[in-house]
Structure 1
Amino acid sequence: MLLDWITVMLLIAIGLVLIVVELIFVPGTTFVGIIGFILTAVGIWLGYSSLGNTVGHVILGSSVLVGVVSVFYSFRSNAWSRFALKDQINSRVNDEYKHELFEGETGLTISALRPAGTAVFRERQHEVHTSGEFVDANTQVRIIKIEQNRIIVEEIS
C-alpha cells in the first residue's frame, strides 16, 4: 500500500515537473511535455486502479490543482526571467565608417561579390554590395552609391 502511494506520487510529481519544464524552457509540443503528460496520466491511472475511486478522485483533483497553480505561479512571479536572454545588439554593419567613404572612390575586392562581399577602401575592409551582378575576388571596384550604411559598387572595366 505504501509503495503504491510512493509510486503514484513520484509519477505525478515527475510528470508535472516535466510539463512545467516544457512550458517554460522548451516551448512547443516536444518530447519533454509528452513524457510529462504520460507520466502524470499513468500516476493518476495507478491511483484509481490500486487505491480506489475515492482516493483516485482526490489524486486527480490535487494533481490538476498543483499543475495549474505551479504554471500560474511560474509565469506570474517572473521566476524564470533570470533564464531569459536580455542582451540586445544595437550596432550596424559599417556604422563606424559611414562618413569616411564617398561615391566614386575605388577599391579592391577581397572576396567574390555574389552580390555581397568584402572590399578594401583606404586600407580598411568594408562590406559591399553590387546591383545584382557577380564580381570575382581581386577586382577593382568603384563606389556608385552609399545608402545609409550600405555601400553599392560596380566593377571597373
Structure 2
Amino acid sequence: MLLDWITVILLIGVGLLLVIVELIFVPGTTVVGILGFILTGIGIWIGYASLGSDVGHIILGATVLVAGVAVVYSFKTNSWARFALKEQNRGHVNEDTPHLLAVGEEGVAVSALRPQGTALFADRHHEVQTQGEYITPNTAIRIIKLNQNQITVEAIS
C-alpha cells in the first residue's frame, strides 16, 4: 500500500516537473512535455487501479488542482518574465555604411535580384530591391527611388 502511494506520488511529481521544464526551458511540443503528460497519466491510472476509485478521484482532483495552482501562481508572480527575451534588435540594412547614392545612378546587379539582392555602385556593394521583377546577375541597373536605407532599382533596357 505504501509502495503504491510512493509510486503514484513520484510518477505524478516527475510528470508535472517535466511539463514545467517543457514550458520553461524547451520550446515547442517535444518529447519532454509528452513524457511528462504520459507519466502524470500513468500515475493517476495506477492510483485508480491499485488504490480504488474513490482515492483515484481524489488523486486526479489533487493533480489538476496542483497543476492549475502552479500555472496561475507562476503567471501572477510573473516568474516567467526572467526567461522572456526583453531586448530588441533595432539594426537596419546598410546602417553601418550610409550610402552616398542618388536617384538615376547606374550600377550592376552582383547577385540575382528576386526582388532583393546585392548590386555594385561606384565600386561599393549595396543591398537593393526591385519593384517585384526578377533581375539576373551582371545586368545593368538604375536607381529609381531612395528611401532612408532602401534602394529601389530597375533594369536598364
Partner in structure 2 of residue 10 of structure 1: 10
AA aligned to 1:105 is E
Query: Does 2:150 match 1:150?
Result: yes
Residue 82 of structure 1 deviates from its aligned partner by: 2.2
Is residue 89 from structure 1 mapped to residue 89 from structure 2 by the alignment? yes
Task: Tell me the distance in 2 between the aligned counterparts of 1:94 and 1:150.
Answer: 8
In 2, distance between residues paired with 1:112 and 1:18?
A: 48
Structure 1 residues 5 and 115, CA gap change in structure 2 (3 angstroms) = same
Post-superposition Cα deviations, 1:84-120, rounded to whole Å, max 9, x if no partner, equal: 2222111222345566211011222211222321112
Q: Distance in 1 between matches of 2:55 and 2:10?
A: 16
TM-score w.r.t. the length of structure 2 is 0.79
Contact 2:146 2:152 in 1 (8 A): yes
State the distance in 2 between where 1:131 and 1:6 align.
Answer: 68
Distance 1:92 1:123 in 2: 22
Q: Kindly indicate whether residue 112 of structure 2 is the aligned counterpart of residue 116 of structure 1.
A: no
Residue number in structure 1 paired with 2:40: 40
| Gap regions ≥5 residues in structure 1 | none
CA distance in structure 2 between the aligned counterparts of 1:72 and 1:130, rounded to whole angstroms = 50
Percent of aligned positions that are identical: 62
Against the structure 1 CA distance between its residues 37 and 123, is the aligned structure 2 distance closer, same or farther, given a 3 Å change threshold?
Answer: same
Correspondence for 1:77: 77
Residue 136 in 1 paired to residue 105 in 2? no
Secondary structure (helix, strand or coil) at the match of 2:79 reads coil
Give secondary structure in 1 for the equivalent of 2:134.
coil
Query: Normalised by the size of structure 1, how large is the TM-score?
Result: 0.79
Aligned equivalents of 1:29 and 1:139: distance in 2? 47
Q: Is the 8 A contact 1:112 1:135 kept in 2?
A: yes
User: Which residues of structure 2 form unaligned runs of 5+?
Assistant: none
Whole-Å Cα distance in 2 between the matches of residues 132 and 45 of structure 1?
A: 59
Q: Note if contact 1:98-1:148 (Cα within 8 Å) is conserved in structure 2.
A: no
Further displaced range: 66-75 or 144-153: 144-153
Cα distance in structure 2, aligned partners of 1:41 and 1:154:
62
The alignment partner of 1:80 has SS state of: helix
Q: Distance in 2 between matches of 1:28 and 1:136?
A: 40
